[in-house]
Amino acid sequence: MRRALLFALAVLALPLQAADLKPFSASYTADWKQLPMSGTAERSLAKNANGTWSLNFKASMMIASLTEQSTLRLDKDTLLPQTYHFERDGLGKAKKVDLDFDWSSKTITGSDRGDAVKLPLNRGVLDKSSYQLALQHDVAAGKKSVSYQVVDGDEIDTYDFRVLGTEKVTTKTGQVDAIKVERVRDPSQSKRITELWFAKEWDYLLVQ
């Protein structure tokens, strides 16, 4: 799903430290691959009463919907996922993922499309949503290439990223300078292209 920023209510303050992590909310248009229609999407970060944070993404259009939620804690400058939920409906491509991160037993358990998941949990492992916060922090810190350990299906995969430069991105509030980041994949394994843009003037909020 491609996302284009319409409006940002607030932004994430950086560097990524417990005293500086602040709620944000952003609204996007949502285009699902090559379908000749678009929908709406919301991405937000909110602090819970127990001190954890909820990172949410919801997208919907006439014939499909997607929900993604990561609950996490922040320990010094490290994100510690607690739970992860992903659900997609419509278009004959339903998918559901639920994961629990038990830091006391250092185990990840849950299910992915009905298949059981059980993996070792080490500091630095992220889910498919929380790694975007880590990437946002590292881009703001000026890093040009970064790697993350991300739970992907029934394994922990390495996600590599590199900064490509600065581009103008058009939003509903006007053009903004954004850092363009690309996920690095082995072309012999996958031809998929993943690109992300982080707005410099909005504390590197993900805008597309």
pLDDT value of residue 37: 54
pLDDT value of residue 11: 37
Residue 14 lies in a domain: no
Query: In whole angstroms, what is the distance from residue 53 CA to residue 58 CA?
Result: 16
Residue 189 lies in a domain: yes
In 10 A of CB 50, how many CB atoms? 8
Output the six-digit token pair for 42: 């919301």
Range of the domain at 61: 24-206
pLDDT in tens, 94-116: 889 999 999 999 999 999 999 99
Residue 58 lies in a domain: yes
Domain count, the chain: 1
Query: Which residue in the block uniquely carries the two structure tokens 């303050």?
Result: 13
Residue 77 lies in a domain: yes
Residue 8 lies in a domain: no
Query: Which residue in the block uniquely carries the two structure tokens 């993996």?
Result: 119
Query: In whole angstroms, what is the distance from residue 104 CA to residue 125 CA?
Result: 14
Query: Which residue in the block uniquely carries the two structure tokens 């409906």?
Result: 89
Residue ranges in the chain whose pLDDT is less than 70: 1-21, 30-38, 91-92
Query: In whole angstroms, what is the distance from residue 70 CA to residue 86 CA?
Result: 9
Residue 19 lies in a domain: no
If you ran DSSP here, which 8-state letter would residue 65 be given? E
Measured at the CA of 33, the angle between CA 30 and CA 34, to 5 degrees, comes to 110
Residue 17 lies in a domain: no
Over its C-alpha atoms, the chain yields an Rg (Å, rounded) of 17
pLDDT value of residue 147: 97
The H or E element spanning position 134 is helix 130-140
Residue 11 lies in a domain: no
- pTM (2 decimals)? 0.85
